[in-house]
């Protein structure tokens, strides 16, 4: 029996540092995950590269992808579409590799319905004040957008009960250690591996 990978979903409010934590996860030499690059209609921020940070799409292109069923999930977030390409995720999991998604809560809910055995981790800010400081400090958003992102953050934090784990991002390296420990433990969870050992007993 070939082992399938685990679908790991990391969510958390905008500004909590998901991108930083995700990059730190992938910069560890022993990182074994594959990152699924999302599609978005948001304009690239300075320094962002098409095909690395996101696949940047027009609204028309994105709506065509929805129609063609090419997205595992999608959501509108602060006026833009964001979505996960379904083929990449399925093929990578089938190949036995863990796939890492960094998505917001509405999308995570859709993934939960389609992949109930996914691993759902919520990255929590130490406090809402700290979250606002981080969004303001990033300097990429207008005052209105900061307000909208704080409102979205409050709604996201209210929905954390659907997640399996909550990791506070008080320190990036500590958060990465916790995420790695969670994934390692999930690979040993009996319901994920029991079939393999039952098969082992059946082989004479
Ligand atoms: P940002 O504009 O700051 O890059 O992302 C805004 C929000 O969209 C973040 O919470 C980010 O995690 C989320 N996001 C990024 N890619 C996807 C995706 O493919 N699907 C969904 N549902 N959310 C995404």
The predicted pLDDT at position 1 comes to 43
Q: Outline where DSSP puts E strands in the chain.
A: 7-11, 33-35, 39-40, 55-56, 71-77, 80-85, 98-102, 119-124, 165-168
User: Which residue of 77, 108, 124 sits with most ligand 1 atoms within 8 Å of its CB, as the best mutation to test the pocket?
Assistant: 77
Between 136 and 182, residue with greater pLDDT: 182
Q: For residues 96 and 99, give the distance between their C-alpha atoms in angstroms, rounded to a whole number.
A: 9
The atom number, within ligand 1, closest to the CA of 39 reads: 19
Residue 158 has pLDDT above 60, yes or no: yes
Burial class (CB in 10 A: 0-12, 13-18, 19+), 35: middle
β-bridge pairing 98-102 and 165-168: unpaired
Mean pLDDT across the chain? 92
**64-102 tens-digit pLDDT:** 999 999 999 999 988 999 999 999 999 999 999 999 999
Residue 134 has pLDDT above 60, yes or no: yes
Q: Is 41 in the pocket of ligand 1 (CB under 6 A)?
A: no
Q: Is 18 annotated as a binding residue?
A: yes
Compute, in angstroms, the gap from residue 104 CA to the centroid of ligand 1.
5
Nearest to 16 by CA among 144, 152, 110, 120: 152
Which residue's C-alpha comes closest to atom 10 of ligand 1? 104
171: pLDDT confidence band, cut at 50, 70 and 90? very high
Q: Which two tokens stand for residue 203?
A: 């082989």
User: Which residue of 47, 52, 104 sits with most ligand 1 atoms within 8 Å of its CB, as the best mutation to test the pocket?
Assistant: 104
Q: Is 16 annotated as a binding residue?
A: yes
Domains of the chain: 7-36+97-202 (3.40.50.300)
The predicted pLDDT at position 144 comes to 85
Q: Is 17 annotated as a binding residue?
A: yes
């Amino acid at each position: 029996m070939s082992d399938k990978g685990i679908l790991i979903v990391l969510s958390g409010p905008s500004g909590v540092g998901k991108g930083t934590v995700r990059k730190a996860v992938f910069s560890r030499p022993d990182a074994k995950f594959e990152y699924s690059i999302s599609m978005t209609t948001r304009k690239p921020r300075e320094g962002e590269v098409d095909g690395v940070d996101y696949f940047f799409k027009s609204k028309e292109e994105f709506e065509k992808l929805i129609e063609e069923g090419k997205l595992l999930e999608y959501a509108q977030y602060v006026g833009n579409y964001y979505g996960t390409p379904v083929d990449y995720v399925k093929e990578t999991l089938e190949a036995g590799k863990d796939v890492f998604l960094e998505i917001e809560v509405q999308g995570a809910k859709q993934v939960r319905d389609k992949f109930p055995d996914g691993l759902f981790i919520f990255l929590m800010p130490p406090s809402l004040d700290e979250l606002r400081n981080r969004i303001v400090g990033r300097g990429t958003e207008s005052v209105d957008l900061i307000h909208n992102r704080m409102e979205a953050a409050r709604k996201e934090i209210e929905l954390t009960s659907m997640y399996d784990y909550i990791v506070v991002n008080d320190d990036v390296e500590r958060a990465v250690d916790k995420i790695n420990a969670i994934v390692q433990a999930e690979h040993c969870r009996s319901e994920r591996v029991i079939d393999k050992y039952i098969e082992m007993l059946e082989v004479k």
